[in-house]
Amino acid sequence: MSDLGPELSFLRDRGFGAAVPTLALILGSGFGAIEAACEPQVRIDYVEIPGLPAPSGLPGHVCRLTQGCLWGVNALVFRGRYHGYEGFTARELGLLPRLAQGLGASLLVVTNASGGIRPGLEAGNLLAITDHINLMGLNPLVGLPRISGAARFAPMAGAYDPALVDALVAAAGRAGESMQRGVYAAVLGPSFETAAEVRALAAQGADAVGMSTVPEVIVARALGMSVCGLSLITNRAGSSDDSHDQTLRQGNDNAARLGRVLEQFVKGLGQPFN
């Protein structure tokens, strides 16, 4: 029995999961506006769901769950996420994908902001995440078997479905955007990287660095969900203008572009990618 039983029952009683969602979408920093594309059937603030921790209330992180019609498919849209740098536990960082899977979603689409490491990844660029490096120092699967149905020693090879990565890049093309592919490294934060850390990340094979997403992907894969991820480069990692304000501003400024790519991606689901 999942230890999320009460939370899921609460949500089902309010109509969540009544229709099987085609996908779950987690909207990261500054991308909240994309939620407006979802015609809501049911909506609830995370804080209203018993058992879920209260979000820390950082500016730019409105936290609520909507289920409804998103570009023609039924979707769960998570606006806002839990971050390790806010002090949430590894278990809490895995809650959103567990709710998504518990409500019937088999595909998780994650979005985030990141700092560019590879030359050519500049503020405003879009990145399809091909793989990750977990440098957060925590793993949401620690503490199993409390997560029922999850593999404790979950394989992470191919975590970001290559066909879905191709689909994201193709969707970007249809939306008139170019999208690079690359490896996302997750650090705990909240401090940004030193110049030496950026060099170390590059040497390890990271193309971009951020402070989220990876725990969600680990849980989703352990639960057997398909995953893909889209990152907006908001700054060059380690540059002197790294700031949370810059991340949010870039997110807000580019949310509409991200939305158009996601729209094409969703409309292309189930169709050949090229």
Residue 212 appears among annotated catalytic residues: yes
Residue closer to ligand HPA, measured from CB, 114 or 254: 114
Give the shortest CB-86-to-ligand HPA separation in angstroms: 14
Closer CB to ligand HPA, 34 or 127, in the complex: 127
* Known catalytic membership, residue 106: no
Q: What's at 68, amino acid-wise?
A: G
Q: For residues 5 and 86, what is the distance between their CA atoms, to the nearest angstrom?
A: 25
Known catalytic residue at 82:
no
Q: Is 132 a catalytic residue?
A: no
Residue 192 touching ligand HPA (CB under 6 A): yes
Q: How far apart are CA 194 and CA 214, in angstroms?
A: 21
Q: Minimum CB separation from ligand HPA for residue 143, in Å?
A: 26
Task: Tell me how far the alpha carbon of residue 90 is from its chain's centroid.
Answer: 15
Peptide bond into 190 cis (omega under 30): yes
Contact flag: residue 115 with ligand HPA (CB under 6 A): yes
Query: Of 38 and 179, which has the nearer Cβ to ligand HPA?
Result: 179
Show the site string, 212-251: x = touches ligand HPA by CB under 6 A, - = not. ----------------------xx-x----x----x----
The answer to whether 169 and 179 have CB atoms below 8 angstroms apart is yes
66 touches ligand HPA by CB under 6 A: no
Q: Which of 35, 86, 131, 193 binds ligand HPA (CB under 6 A)?
A: 193
Q: Give whole-number Cα distances, 246 to 63, 80, 86, in Å.
A: 20, 17, 18
181 membership: H or E segment, kind and range: strand 179-187
Cβ count near 163 (within 10 Å): 10
- Would you call 83 a catalytic residue per the annotation? yes
Query: Phi/psi at 103 (nearest 5 deg)?
Result: -90, 5
Residue ranges that bind ligand HPA, judged by CB under 6 A: 113-115, 192-193, 209-211, 234-235, 237, 242, 247
